[in-house]
Amino acid sequence: MKELEIGKSGIKVPFLGLGTWAIGGGSWWGDNEEQESIYTIQEAIDRGIRWIDTAPVYGLGYSEKVVGRALEGRRDKVILSTKCALEWDHETPCFHKEVDGTKVYRDLSKKSIMEDVDRSLINLKTDYIDICYTHWQSPDRALYPLEETMDALMTLKKQGKIRAIGASNVTAQDIEEYCSFGQLDVIQEKYSILTRRVEAELAPVCRQYGVSIQAYSPLEQGLLTGKVTMDTELSPGDVRNYNIWWEPGNRLKVLNMLEGWKPYCEKYNCTPGNLTIALTSEMLDGVHVLCGARKIVQVQDNVKAMKLVLEAEDIEQMKADISRVLQD
């Protein structure tokens, strides 16, 4: 199976990774059964997924702890990434948002980042993290100079606590500044066949500096799986209520597009979700695709995408179909 390098780190993995945001539960995702979550992570590893991604804020520490339990005896089989710089145990001048009644703040200071990573090492039951991302960036460089943020991450790298540095939810200028202060290997951004900001705004600067891209929400939070209909209802607190592609008019256009892709699903003996994941991996050169899952059956379906080899003519036709949806 083809493996992609993560930036200049020397770390190589298959293009598909497992995201564990939903495993964190909470009002956005609903409660999870912990043992099922553990089995889901282990199933992903057994089926060839080697990159497991989490974050402290997912369930306010819960997702990291579940991942840590799932990786006991398997830590050497995976590339593990987590994040830093979102806090809920102290206030800062930079409020981020409220998560289930808890106020979360951004703190990209060296002190806070060092503490974050130490806490994550405990939660994850490991003595090193392969990739550490800054989860969200500071809107005020005077408050948290990027040079200080990068100094913290480079120090952690020298200490052996992390192997590579990542940044999430960034601008092109952020990437350039990170690279001016040290080695940035990967960014993690929302990217799908429908959400394409990354292509024009971030991909060129990433190519310039040798920074990889890991795409999150490639299935638009389930919309592109083929399991959603116009009758699918979301609870009031569901995060997908804020996704423009889930709005009725846009949803209808997307579902019609997927209906037109049924012949491809038959040709490649796959589901719409498999097809979408494989197609996403072809949209940007070297892109890593992160798919969330909290049930074994979701993992079993997603991993089929790693074995799909789409023909160039089919890729171009599907891209044309997507363009029509985006232009309508």
Residue recorded with tokens 């090492």: 121
Write out the DSSP string of 231-244. Answer: T----TT-GGGG-G
The total of other beta-carbon atoms located within 10 Å of residue 95's CB is 11
Q: Phi/psi of residue 106, each to 5°? A: -95, 135
Percentages helix, strand, coil for the chain (3-state, rounded to 5) are 45, 15, 40
> Given phi > 0 = left and psi -120 to 50 = alpha, else beta, which region is 133?
beta
Note if 58 is an active site residue: yes
Residue 53 CB neighbour total at 10 angstroms:
27
Contact 135, 168 (CB under 8 A): yes
The whole-angstrom separation of Cα 183 and Cα 107 is 21
71, 124 in Cβ contact below 8 A? yes
Residues 282 and 296: their CA atoms lie apart, in Å, by 26
Catalytic pick from 58, 178, 264, 268?
58
How many angstroms separate the Cα of 209 from the Cα of each of 151, 205, 289? 19, 6, 20
Catalytic residues: 58
